[in-house]
Amino acid sequence: MLTRKTAVRTLINESVIKWLLTLMSAAIIIGFVTMGLASYDFNLKSFITPQGVPTTPQLPSLSFVELNIEDFYQNSLELTITLTLYLNRDMVIPINLIEFKGLLYCRDHGVTLGNFSLQEPITLNKKGAYSLILIVKFSDQGLKHVANYHSTKIENAYHVDITLHVPEITIVTMVNNVKIKTTIKGFTRKVAFTLPEEAIHDFSFRS
């Protein structure tokens, strides 16, 4: 007859412990998985489907609703214009608009008038309207062209009437550390504005 001590020794031999440990591991895994499945009402599909995956990210659509000519700086031949753009939805991560640039042409004569760029970066996050201040830098040749072909003298000023052509616009945005550079098709638009007499005066005589 086996003594109690011998019986315990027999039980706790190598293979029994090995099997107990293996069973314990299996029981823990099966237990947790069953517990998880139960918390999903034993719906296997939702249990193995990734949760919280964002839907196809849609780039915001921007629409220009307003164009205002703010000021003209004669010394640097700069024109400040404000565009109002509209962000159609809230962004999960803010978008920093760091570049918005392009070249400006006279559509009728094909002459390069200058270029435009963003005055300072803006952050787009909430749905709504944003003012985008652009600096239009006229080239010497561009301003001469405006003076000679598209301006009419009015009282102490010049009325400019021109059809601008922007072949493409380069937009650079940063979303966290990701840089997105987009080149979009530009536009052709007839614009009319008034420039102070001093702005054009010098150039009209140089030509």
Partner 1 sequence: MIFHLDLKEKRAISRFLGVIAGALVIWLAAEASAWWSIDFGGIISIRLSPFDYEVTVLNQSVSIPLIDYLVLAYRVITLIAGLLLIISTVKIESKWSKRLKEYGWRKIPNCLAMIFIVALIFTIIISQQTAIVKDIVNLWFPVVAIQSSNTMFLSGSTILTITLNAANNQNTVITVPVTATFTMNFLLAIIATALCIAYRVSSALQLKDSRKA
Q: Which is nearer to partner 1, 25 or 207 (CB)?
A: 25
Q: Which is nearer to partner 1, 1 or 92 (CB)?
A: 92
Q: Does residue 185 sit in helix, strand or coil?
A: strand
Q: Which is nearer to partner 1, 41 or 155 (CB)?
A: 41
Q: Does an H or E element contain 126, and which?
A: none
Q: Using the 8-state DSSP alphabet, how is residue 3 labeled?
A: -
- Decide if 35 contacts 157 (C-beta within 8 A): no
Closest approach of partner 1 to the CB of residue 1, in Å: 23
Q: Does residue 55 sit in helix, strand or coil?
A: coil
CA–CA separation, 111 and 72 (whole Å):
20
Closest approach of partner 1 to the CB of residue 67, in Å: 21
- Decide if 99 contacts 172 (C-beta within 8 A): yes
Q: Which is nearer to partner 1, 55 or 75 (CB)?
A: 55
Q: Which is nearer to partner 1, 3 or 56 (CB)?
A: 56
Q: Which residues contact partner 1 (rule: CB under 8 A)?
A: 12-14, 17-18, 21, 24-25, 28-29, 31-33, 35-36, 39-40, 46-54, 56-57, 92-93, 175-185
- Decide if 139 contacts 147 (C-beta within 8 A): no
Closest approach of partner 1 to the CB of residue 61, in Å: 11
Closest approach of partner 1 to the CB of residue 175, in Å: 6
Closest approach of partner 1 to the CB of residue 27, in Å: 10
Nearest to 150 by CA among 93, 105, 97: 105
